[in-house]
Amino acid sequence: MIELQVKRLIALLCVVGIFNLTALASSPAPKSIRIFPEVQGHWFLDGKLPFGCEVTYTHGGKRRTSGYLNGNLPWRDLICESDQAIFHGDEVLVDLYKVRQNNNTLVIRASLRDFPQVKSEFTLKIPPVEAIQVLLPENEKPRYEKVIEPFIRLEWANGATYTYEAGSTNSLVHTDSVQMFFNDSLIFGGRIKLPAFNGLDAHSFSLSVVWASKPWLNDTEVFPFIGREHEVWEFHTPSGLNAANQASAPKGMNGVEGFHGLPGSDAQEVKLSLQLNDDKSELRVKASNGIQTFERSFSLNEFSLEIIARGGNGGNGGRGGEGGPAPFDDPYKAGIGGKGGRGGRGGKGANVVIEASPEADAFIPCIIVENSDGLPGKPGAGGRGGVFSAGYGMPTLIELLFPSRNYDGDPGDE
CATH class of the domain defined by 29-125: mainly beta
Which pLDDT value is given to residue 391? 56
Lowest mean pLDDT among 56-70, 159-173, 237-251, 384-398: 384-398
Cβ atoms within 10 Å of 264's Cβ, excluding its own: 27
pLDDT reported for residue 240: 95
Q: Name the pLDDT band for 414 (thresholds 50, 70, 90).
A: confident
Q: In 3-state terms, what secondary structure has residue 44?
A: helix
User: Which tens digit of pLDDT belongs to each residue from 267-288?
Assistant: 999 999 999 988 888 899 999 9
Please choose, from the candidates 248, 249, 251, the residue with its C-alpha nearest in 3D space to the C-alpha of residue 329. 251
Query: So what's the pLDDT on residue 333?
Result: 85
Residues in Cβ contact with 121 at an 8 Å cutoff, skipping those fewer than 6 apart: 35, 107, 108, 109, 110
**pLDDT at residue 63 greater than cutoff 60:** yes
Burial of 98 (0-12, 13-18, 19+ CB in 10 A): middle
Q: DSSP states of 358-412 as a string? A: GGGGGGGGGEEEE-PPPPPPPPPPPPPPPBPP--SSPPPHHHHHS--B-PPPPPP
- pLDDT band at residue 359 using 50, 70 and 90 as cut-offs: confident
Alpha carbon distance 368, 140 (integer Å): 14
Cα within 13 Å of Cα(151), Cβ side: 12
From edge to edge, which strands make up the β-sheet containing 352-356? 293-299, 282-288, 270-276, 352-356
Strands annotated E in 249-383: 270-276, 282-288, 293-299, 303-308, 352-356, 367-370
Q: What is the mean pLDDT of residues 142-166?
A: 92
Write out the H or E segment, with its range, that includes residue 346.
Answer: none
Question: pLDDT (tens digit, 9 = 90+) per residue, 78-91?
Answer: 999 999 999 999 99
Q: Which residues of the chain form CATH 2.60.40?
A: 29-125
Number of other residues whose CB lies within 10 A of the CB of residue 136 = 15
pLDDT at residue 300, rounded to an integer: 82
CA distance 99 to 105: 5
Residue whose C-alpha is closest to residue 62's, from 410, 408, 412: 408
pLDDT band at 18 (very low <50, low <70, confident <90, very high): very low
Instruction: Report phi then psi at 177, rounded to 5.
Output: -75, -25
Handedness of CA 128, 131, 136, 137 (dihedral sign): negative
Confidence of residue 60 (pLDDT cuts 50, 70, 90): confident
What confidence score (pLDDT) does residue 401 get? 62
> Mean pLDDT for the chain?
87
In sequence order, what are the beta bridge partners of 283?
276, 298
Least confident among 16-30, 67-81, 183-197, 367-381: 16-30
**Angle at CA 138, nearest 5°, toward 132 and 144?**
95
Q: Which residue has the higher pLDDT, 290 or 330?
A: 290
Considering only CA atoms, which of 298, 307, 309 is closest in space to residue 348?
A: 309
pLDDT value of residue 279: 86
Q: What is 96-164 written as a DSSP string?
A: HHHHHHTTTEEEEEEEESS-TTSEEEEEEEPPPEEEEEEEPPTT---BTT-EE--EEEEEETTS-EEEE
**Residue 16 pLDDT exceeds 60:** no
pLDDT in tens, 178-229: 999 999 999 988 889 999 887 667 788 999 999 998 999 999 998 888 888 8
Give the list of residues 6+ apart from residue 14 with CB closer than 8 angstroms, or none: none
- Spatial separation of the C-alpha atoms in residues 235 and 369, rounded to whole Å: 11
Question: Looking at residues 346-360, what average pLDDT do you find?
Answer: 93
pLDDT grade, residue 319 (50/70/90)? very high
Q: How many other CB atoms sit within 10 Å of the CB of residue 61?
A: 17
pLDDT of residue 6: 43
Using CB atoms within 10 Å of the CB of residue 103, give its burial: 0 to 12 exposed, 13 to 18 middle, 19+ buried: exposed
pLDDT value of residue 7: 53
pLDDT > 50? residue 315: yes
